[in-house]
Amino acid sequence: NCTVSENIHSLGQLKGVDGILVEKCTVNAIRGINVNNSLNVKVVGSTFDVDKYAIRFGESANTTVENYEITDCTITSQNVDGDAAIVLRAGATNANLTITNTAINAAIQMSGHTSANVTIIP
């Protein structure tokens, strides 16, 4: 239940956290949230209206499986500098991303590592 607005850089820059829950947040900022080397990340019921990426995952590049979920969200990105709305960094080789009931309003909706498992459920 947080609100981030105006010229703030992002909701957060997190690294090495197991169990992140972003729920019912409104983010109107330059970027959304960035999680690296983090496990069990859930973004639920939140709205992102950003200039660059809304949610950026990854950079593990190891054998640990990272699970990410985006559920019941609205994501809008202006794609400034070519950033996608959702980014899986190149190191996210063992990532599982599930996107459920989420609207993505952006010219570049998703970018990232081709070996990640991405499931989209309308």
- How do the pLDDT tens digits run along the chain, 122 residues long? 888 887 777 888 888 888 999 999 999 999 999 888 888 899 999 999 999 999 998 766 566 778 899 999 999 999 998 889 999 887 777 788 999 999 999 999 988 877 788 889 98
The sign of the CA dihedral 14, 39, 106, 117 is: positive
Which of 96, 89, 90 lies closest to 35, judged by CA?
A: 89
Phi, psi (5° rounding) for residue 23? -135, 130
User: What's the confidence (pLDDT) of residue 62?
Assistant: 62
Tokens 């010219």 -> residue: 107
Which of 121, 2, 112 lies closest to 57, judged by CA?
A: 112
| CA 51/CA 49 separation, integer angstroms | 7
DSSP state for residue 7 in the 8-state scheme: T
User: What's the confidence (pLDDT) of residue 61?
Assistant: 58
User: What's the confidence (pLDDT) of residue 65?
Assistant: 78
User: What's the confidence (pLDDT) of residue 109?
Assistant: 92
pTM of this prediction? 0.90
